[in-house]
Chains A and B, each alone.
Chain A
């Protein structure tokens, strides 16, 4: 398993289905002027490949995810997703890009409390036409098959999500991230609240379904034991 801390060569690709999911070059970010900037190593991730991202607290893992999600903009450098340079997009375009091409899973509290399980899963399809058109055969049927695959009992589908266990909530979040087959899934320590059985099951299902949808997963975790399931690893360090 190569450690992706150095830049690899890759051909320019701007075709409609880019082979390259993610490319960082000379990227850095600072929250404000008083803090030192966080610098990231250059790296590339091809479509369908998964990345394991680890590092101690404060090393900028979550910040990198926010950069990838387009919620914040880098101070320097380039961040190219699916052949699109994110900093060239306006705020609105980045929101749209995220809706169209990304699924996100948080550590916990992933679900909108007042929506049912199914509505939570179908939320991306309601925000993005692209995701809706790729949710086959229909957003609802895709959501149902994802929930079935992720082992959410049917009795919970039409109920509000507050009755679900933490493990179930994380799996519903995974279903939401996967629906409409986005090219990129950003997972921010999604297993940290789970026991080892649920954690292994979660990773298994997530990576399996991501492979089915041809999505690349960027997975942030402290848990080194999970790293071996990923094609690439990136270790971040706290800036000196």
Chain B
């Protein structure tokens, strides 16, 4: 009964002081939203990261570190150190243990988006997320040399439709002065959004890349040596080299064996990496940063809790009379102390509730922007255990800091006489 009384008194008291307390609760709400948001995004971004590639057992490229290889083949960040010879690729194809190979050829760009040269094996075997296949939203996969398939974001950002002419630029970068303008491509397909770097790239055939580089052997177009699309079709368009290859192994137990053999290959210096291992190494590096961020937001919450206590302590001066009345009516110092703790915890719980709502609204509002700008797919999902734990920590912490005003009130009301007789 006393607990119920304490609760109803605390509620009435909070409501009476709602104007002052609304501001501190807002501060607390914002800081919890921040903390929760960082934790949520951390999980989501990690998920988005690990979702980037799946089903591929090995990535093979020129000898380099695994992070570098992973970054330029899958995330389209940075450049390849070297290429691998077409003959090496052919040799890998003949290996019985290797189930499939997806060639990847990088180097050109389209308005800042990477151009990925590949073949029909890509839609067949490339997987992301939980074994999801990249699907075409419109049109079909390229069949001809001068056909291109656009990633979802590329099409959306530049307003491309099927049949549009696409002129690729030589090299990377947003603005390029050397464009392959003699050999335009036609958009034949637009991929559905995947929330991975696939959305940010355009896909052409290896032969197409070869064709547009005839006469570009020195890095720029040499007048008179470039060809028209018609002339190009008559040439042998088998590439000399590719950048990397995604490898699928039929019997997974052989993965390490194949990896070892490729790494020790006598053909040329090669690296074969396990995408999962490389991803977790990448995440370990990123993880340091976001752990620091989480720590900082944790401190923000602590700061606002201290602010809350400061306000409660200031209010205490106003509450002398009310406490004198409660004491005279027979309330024990414990009840007075409990009142303070309960008020503090109620405010924290309210702030947590508001923070969850604000966070959900924020994520719902920001997710299109995140996908567009950063290519990170963040969706609403039920909170996980860690997030619930973080939320639960806040009322717990408020209970602890609430003991400060409570203890003061308890000591004060023990010394207090009836009514105004408070000798200081």
Contact = CB atoms under 8 A, between A and B. Distances in A.
Q: Do A and B come from one complex?
A: yes
A128 B421 contact: no
B321 A109 contact: yes
B418 interface: yes
B414 to A, nearest CB: 7
A65 B421 CA distance: 10
A11 B419 CA distance: 33
B417 interface: yes
B327 interface: yes
Which of B9, B17, B330, B414 has the most C-beta atoms of chain A within 10 angstroms of its own C-beta?
B330
Contacts of A69: 328, 417-418
Contact of A188 (B9, B15, B329, B418): B418
Contacts of B419: 62, 65-66, 104, 106-107, 188
A123 B329 CA distance: 8
A10 interface: no
Given A71-B418, A114-B15, A106 B328 contact: yes
Given A92-B332, A95-B331, A113-B16, A66 B322 contact: no
Contacts of B311: none
Interface residues of A, number: 38
Nearest to B328: A104
Nearest to A66: B417
Nearest to A64: B418
Interface string A76-110: 00000000000000011001101110101011011
A128 B330 CA distance: 8
Nearest to B4: A126
B200 to A, nearest CB: 58
Contacts of B17: 114
B331 A127 contact: yes
A176 B322 CA distance: 14
Nearest to A31: B423
Interface in B317-339: 321-322, 324-334
A153 to B, nearest CB: 22
B408 interface: no
Interface string A47-90: 00000000000000011011001011000000000000000000
Interface string B395-424: 000000000000000000010111111010
Contacts of A129: 1
B370 interface: no
A71 B330 contact: no
A124 B329 contact: yes
A71 B416 contact: yes
Interface string B1-40: 1100100010011011100000000000000000000000
Contacts, number: 94
A136 to B, nearest CB: 19
B16 A104 contact: no
A186 B414 contact: no
A95 B330 contact: yes
A95 B418 CA distance: 12
A239 to B, nearest CB: 16
A3 B326 CA distance: 34
A115 interface: yes
Interface string B183-194: 000000000000
A112 B326 contact: yes
A129 B1 CA distance: 9
Interface string A109-145: 1111111000100011011110000000000000000
Given A62-B419, A66-B421, A69-B418, A104 B329 contact: yes
B420 A62 contact: yes
A99 B329 contact: yes
B324 A106 contact: yes
Contacts of A91: 332-333, 414
B297 to A, nearest CB: 34
Given A92-B332, A113-B16, A128-B330, A63 B417 contact: yes
A164 B103 CA distance: 86
A128 B335 CA distance: 13
A89 to B, nearest CB: 12
A112 B322 contact: yes
Interface in B270-329: 321-322, 324-329
Interface of B: 1-2, 5, 9, 12-13, 15-17, 321-322, 324-334, 414, 416-421, 423
Interface of A: 31-32, 62-63, 65-66, 69, 71-72, 91-92, 95-96, 98-100, 102, 104, 106-107, 109-115, 119, 123-124, 126-129, 160, 176, 186, 188
27 contacts: A31-B423, A62-B419, A63-B417, A65-B419, A66-B417, A66-B421, A69-B328, A69-B417, A71-B417, A91-B333, A91-B414, A95-B333, A98-B330, A99-B330, A102-B330, A106-B324, A106-B419, A109-B321, A112-B325, A112-B326, A113-B16, A114-B16, A114-B17, A124-B329, A126-B1, A127-B329, A188-B419
A-B pairs with lowest CB-CB distance, top 6: A99-B330, A114-B16, A66-B417, A104-B328, A66-B418, A95-B332
